[in-house]
Chains A and B, each alone.
Chain A
Amino acid sequence: MSQTVIEPVSESSDASTEPLLQIRDLEVGFQTQHGVVPAVRGVSLTLYAGQTLAIVGESGSGKTTTAQAIIKLLAGTGTITAGQILFEGRDLAGLSDKQMQDVRGRLIGYVPQDPMSNLNPVWNIGFQVEEAIKANNVAQGKAARQRTIQVLQEAGLSDAEDRLKQFPHQFSGGMRQRVLIGIGLSARPKLLIADEPTSALDVTVQRQILDHLGTLTRDYGTSVLFITHDLGLAAERAEQLVVMYKGKVVESGPSQEILANPQHPYTQRLVAAAPSLASRRIQSAKNDDAAGAEIFSGGSLDTTLVARAAEREPAAATQDLIKVQNISKLYRIRTKGLKYNELLAVNDVSFAIKKGTTTALVGESGSGKSTVAKLILQLESITSGQIEFDGQDVAGLKGAALLKFRRRVQPVFQDPYGSLDPQYNVGNTIAEPLLAHKIGTSADRQARVRELLDQVSLPWATRYRYPSELSGGQRQRIAVARALALKPDVLVLDEAVSALDVLVQGQILNLLTELQTDLGLTYLFITHDLAVVRLVADNVCVMQQGRIVETASTDEVFDSPREAYTQELLAAIPGGNFQFGR
């Protein structure tokens, strides 16, 4: 980290006297053909200088809209219909575009949600940071360039100077997020609005970035407004918490107090669904059956998960359904001219999955876990090693045999938006695998679609709807239904719940466990989220840089991790050690 510190602000003396930001009865509506649809309904909150406040809630709760209203960057037809946004006593809601231009960047910095789409792909990184510095008159000319390097270094890009001329697509998600944080803080604003600044990142990178943000805000006395759905993060990083539900504030106050003792029913549900908490309950259920049952009957807990946890021990099967032995995958990446760089994405990986169990493959992005999934699905060929499925070597499968294998091993991917064809209605999407494998008559297929929709708890009427009309959770259900259409033995779930809200994520995990019990499915569960692993997996393989560093049962990994890397991963879970309330 850079030691050069410019104009450190020490305003902590009057921090608690006058609020930096005070929102009063804010209402935001979106203009539609059917009139104005309210998105934010009477939100009030107060943030003092040097404080950190987190707004939590599920998607659609209006938390992002509230944040965007502050800097008046509402999407589409959104307008502030009532209320005040007082920043240092000045009402931002009444400012002209020209006046807002002066506020944005200089007084209020903004770190947007999705690092992949928030940098302009056609300009280099240096240009995009320098532009912010020049626009806010922090520095000009050569000094601006110096400042650009400094800002990026402070945000955690140590080799910033060499990378200024690179373009966003040459940066990883985590690095882009750092660039965006650098831009947000480039003019040393008094308030930084950070909308899910780390939700796309691995836990360890997330911790680094949050630590950086913490240091920077401490050094310069910046207030931070976090928007997040991660309660652990809120508990760990924010002093104040505002819980939003359907456009309203349902609960607010000191964050640790609220999370330890949630009052509003919605907050209670949210807290109950937080994976780190639920997993603890499963644990306690296993250790003490009687006490466990009592806890669960009272709360909104997922009973199937508990039942499953109890069942897990006797369910130990004998037969290895998938056996992976010493597989490696080497990619050759062309650099300049005829030269190649070799990348060993998967390095001598071995593991076995027993029938009817769940094995989780965890690791950071770039650890090779998704490549392993592709190798098992036969979407990529292995460089060396052997993959056995049901006693048969699958590496050389071709034609009909490969098709038969594919019927038994089906994937579900991460992005429920990208993995469904927007032009296909739900019924056709689910029936497509049947059609591709020429199974049944049209009527048979309809019947199977009906059965599948029923299995994933969607109404029969859903079959005529299109993906764009459905929520993320519904889409992921459809992806699961499509994967189940061929009655496979194995589902390969590649980050299948990572893009979902906590509540929806809980529902899908619940669904998956139910299906596993009912249909005897075997899961290979690929994720970077350790909290989820604890909920669903029997065994865990921890991957790092293409290798498996630790293989053990879920309990062993969580209770007594052997490897330093596993310990590091566990320690990086935000709020991992925080005791949530009931």
Chain B
Amino acid sequence: MIWYTGKRLLQMIPVFFGATLLIYFMVFSLPGDPIAALYGDRPPAPGVIDQIRAQYNLDKPFIVQYFIYIGNFFQGDLGTTYSGRPVSDVMAKAFPITARLALLALAIEAFFGILVGLIAGLRKGKLFDTSALVVSLLLISVPTFVIGFVLQYVFAVKLGWARTTVSSEAPLNELLLPALVLASVSFAYIVRLTRASVSDNLNADFVRTATAKGLSRRRVVGVHVLRNSLVPVVTFLGVDLGSLMVGAIVTEGIFNINGVGGTVYKAIKLGEGPTVVSFIAVMVVIFVLANLLVDLLYAALDPRIRYAK
């Protein structure tokens, strides 16, 4: 297990360099001159532009720019935005908000998704199951921004239970509604995944054996069905943590949250290489770690999976 974890962590190194290089290259090749764009219609003196270019190393070849950036990165210097703010400041502000939002959404979808999926799987073909399937299909097919605007209108505008926009501090209670919106699609997938998995496992031979031992229904379901059914769900949750962080951009837009999504979007538009790459680098690390966590959880849930090699 330790071997496996170590190996996986080592694998992060090439992934990190590959991803950052790729993103850096893509931002570099974006059309348009970011410095000229800063000044809009009134171009500054030519010397000023060259000076700024030199300050941000934009006059150097691409690969040199990249290595200067990486070198600074490992010294803890993430560079500054073109407006002069240190990137680390921007990240320190944006990441906690998005992380709170994503984790809250993850908790909501995991808890309710598994609960609803379990009940639906146990009552396959009954009213609860059919309604759960219809609702989940609805959530999957309706775009997030529609769900977002509807919930915002109903709960914030009409009922006044929540704020229409989230304040810049973004405390948890204000994030509840956005988190619900963000979780909605994944919730639907988890319901379906859990339901299918539970109804499969209910027909498994070992469940019949468990019943034949004289166990109560509650124990059969809790001990023998649920744990086996969670394996595919856990995989989904791990991958989903990554997409929640990235995919929060729509939800963040609707509720005016200053999270990662909006910041990266603005940085891409401005062609701010260092900002974009720094954010992406952190996200890559989060993604890889989340996947590692899933694989380790796998082994905990299913002892047949042992990472020997």
Contact = CB atoms under 8 A, between A and B. Distances in A.
Interface of A: 71, 73, 75-76, 97, 101-106, 109-110, 112, 114, 117-124, 131-132, 135-136, 167, 169, 180, 183-184, 186-187, 334, 337
A453 B215 CA distance: 49
A71 B209 CA distance: 11
A132 B213 contact: yes
Contacts of A109: 212
Interface stretch (B86-94, B168-176, B198-206, B245-253): B198-206
Contacts of B235: none
Interface stretch (B10-18, B103-111, B146-154, B300-308): B300-308
B214 A104 contact: yes
The B interface, classified by DSSP as helix, strand, loop or mixed, is helix
Given A121-B302, A131-B223, A337-B3, A105 B213 contact: yes
B224 interface: yes
Contacts of B209: 110, 112, 118-120, 180, 183
A97 B211 CA distance: 11
9 tightest A-B contacts by CB? Answer: A105-B214, A110-B212, A132-B213, A117-B205, A104-B214, A120-B206, A167-B303, A118-B205, A118-B209
Nearest to A333: B308
Contact of B302 (A97, A122, A180, A186): A122
B216 interface: yes
A106 B203 contact: no
Contacts of B158: none
Contact of B204 (A103, A117, A132): A117
A104 B219 CA distance: 14
Contacts of A73: 208, 211-212
Contact of B213 (A76, A97, A131, A337): A131
A75 B213 CA distance: 16
A101 B217 CA distance: 9
A422 B210 CA distance: 30
A71 B205 contact: no
Contact of A132 (B214, B217, B224, B304): B214
Contacts of A75: 203, 208
A102, A117, A118, A124: residue with the most chain B Cβ atoms closer than 10 Å: A118
Given A75-B203, A167-B304, A334-B308, A120 B212 contact: no
Interface in B291-309: 301-304, 308-309
B253 to A, nearest CB: 42
B231 to A, nearest CB: 8
Interface in B274-288: none
Given A75-B203, A112-B208, A118-B209, A97 B217 contact: yes
Given A120-B224, A121-B228, A122-B302, A135 B214 contact: yes
A167 B302 CA distance: 10
Nearest to B207: A120
Contact of B228 (A118, A122, A132): A122
B8 interface: no
Contact of B304 (A102, A103, A121, A131): A121
Contacts of A183: 209, 213
Given A117-B204, A169-B304, 11 more contacts: A101-B216, A101-B217, A102-B214, A104-B213, A110-B209, A118-B208, A121-B302, A122-B228, A122-B303, A131-B219, A135-B213
Contacts, number: 89
Interface of B: 3, 203-217, 219, 223-224, 227-228, 301-304, 308-309
11 contacts: A103-B214, A112-B205, A112-B208, A120-B206, A121-B206, A121-B303, A122-B302, A167-B303, A167-B304, A180-B209, A184-B212
Nearest to B304: A169
A200 to B, nearest CB: 13
A109 B209 CA distance: 10
Given A121-B303, A167-B303, A334-B308, A187 B205 contact: no
Q: Which of A117, A120, A136, A187 has the most CB of B within 10 A?
A: A120
A343 to B, nearest CB: 15
B212 A105 contact: yes
Nearest to B214: A105
Contacts of A97: 217
B227 A136 contact: no
Contacts of B219: 131, 135
B188 to A, nearest CB: 27
A72 to B, nearest CB: 9
Contacts of B211: 73, 104
A117 B216 contact: no
A44 to B, nearest CB: 23
A112 B212 contact: yes
A135 B227 CA distance: 19
Nearest to B231: A122
Contact of B203 (A76, A105, A186): A76
A59 to B, nearest CB: 16
Given A167-B303, A167-B304, A169-B304, A118 B213 contact: no
Nearest to A120: B206
Given A112-B208, A122-B228, A337-B3, A136 B304 contact: no
Nearest to A336: B308
A187 B214 contact: yes
A76 B208 CA distance: 11
A75 B214 CA distance: 17
Contacts of A104: 211-214
B222 to A, nearest CB: 12
A169 B302 CA distance: 11
A136 B206 contact: no
A334 B214 contact: no
Nearest to B301: A122
Nearest to B216: A101
A9 B12 CA distance: 65
Contact of B206 (A71, A102, A118): A118
A103 B212 CA distance: 9
A337 B302 CA distance: 21
A131 B212 contact: no
A564 to B, nearest CB: 38
Contacts of A187: 214
B194 to A, nearest CB: 16
